[in-house]
Amino acid sequence: MNDVTQILNAIRAGDADAADQLLPIVYDELRRLAARKLAHEAPGQTLQATALVNEVCLRLLGEQNSSWENRGHFFAAAAEAMRRILIDRARRKLRIRHGGQRQRVELQDIHLVYDLPSDDLMALDEALQRLEAEDRTKAELVKLRFFTGLSSAQAAQVLGISKATADRYWTYARAWLYHEITKDDR
C-alpha cells in the first residue's frame, strides 16, 4: 500500500492531520493533470493550473463524507472535480452578464482610421500639436496609427523603434491625448 492510500485510510478513520499530509504528496501530480486538462481548453482561457488545483483541493478536502478507497479513487474524484469546475466556468462565460458570446479582439488587430465629427477632429488636432511640442516621436506614432491605420509593428518600423517601445508610446499618447481633449470639458 502506498503513502497516498495510507493517508486516505487515515482520513477515512477520522485523523484530522491526515488531510494536511495528503496535499503535499498529491499536489504536483494534480497540477500536471490540471495543466493537461487546461491545454485542451479554448484559447483565451484565464484559469491557471494552480488555481484549478487549489479549487479542486478545496472541493475534495472540504467534503465531509469523502471516503476514497485508494489512490486511483482519489485521482478519479479529482478528475471529476476538475471537469465540474471547468464546465461551471464555461457555463458562466456563456451567460450574457459575463460576456455571453463576445469574442476577444486584440487592440493591435483593429485598424484605427476614423471619420470623426469636425469638432472632435479639431480638438484632436490641437491636442496632437501640443503632444508634438512635447514629444515628436509619440505624435508621429499617433498620426501613423490613427490617421493611416498602420499596425503597431508597421508604425514602429517606420519610426525606427521597437514594437514594444511603440506599444508603450501608443498607450502613453492615447492617455495623454484623452486627458488633453477632455480637460476642457470638465
Q: Which of 20-29, 35-44, 111-120 has the lowest mean pLDDT?
A: 111-120
The neighbour count for residue 71, using CB atoms within 10 Å, is 19
Let me know whether 115 and 171 are in one domain: yes
Let me know whether 10 and 91 are in one domain: yes
Q: Tell me the pTM.
A: 0.46
Of 98, 119, 147, which residue constitutes the final position of a domain? 98
Mean pLDDT (whole number) for 14-19: 73
Please write the tens of the pLDDT for every residue from 124-176: 888 889 999 999 999 999 888 877 778 889 889 989 999 999 999 999 999 99
Of 67, 98, 129, which residue constitutes the final position of a domain? 98
1: pLDDT confidence band, cut at 50, 70 and 90? Answer: very low
Mean pLDDT (whole number) for 42-57: 77
Cα separation of 16 and 33, whole Å?
Answer: 26
Interior angle at CA 11, CA 80 and CA 52, nearest 5? 35
Let me know whether 94 and 111 are in one domain: no
Of 98, 122, 139, which residue constitutes the final position of a domain? 98
Please write the tens of the pLDDT for every residue from 105-122: 565 554 444 444 556 777
Let me know whether 92 and 135 are in one domain: no
Let me know whether 81 and 56 are in one domain: yes
Let me know whether 80 and 133 are in one domain: no
Let me know whether 79 and 48 are in one domain: yes
Cell of 50: 494552480
Task: Provide the number of structural domains found in the chain.
Answer: 2
CATH number of the CATH domain containing 160 = 1.10.10.10
Question: Whole domain around residue 13: which residue ranges?
Answer: 3-98
Let me know whether 92 and 170 are in one domain: no
Let me know whether 111 and 168 are in one domain: yes
Complete DSSP assignment for 165-176: HHHHHHHHHHHH
Let me know whether 82 and 111 are in one domain: no
Let me know whether 13 and 81 are in one domain: yes
Let me know whether 14 and 91 are in one domain: yes
Question: What average pLDDT is seen over the chain?
Answer: 77
Which of 143, 116, 119, 117 has its CA nearest to residue 129?
143
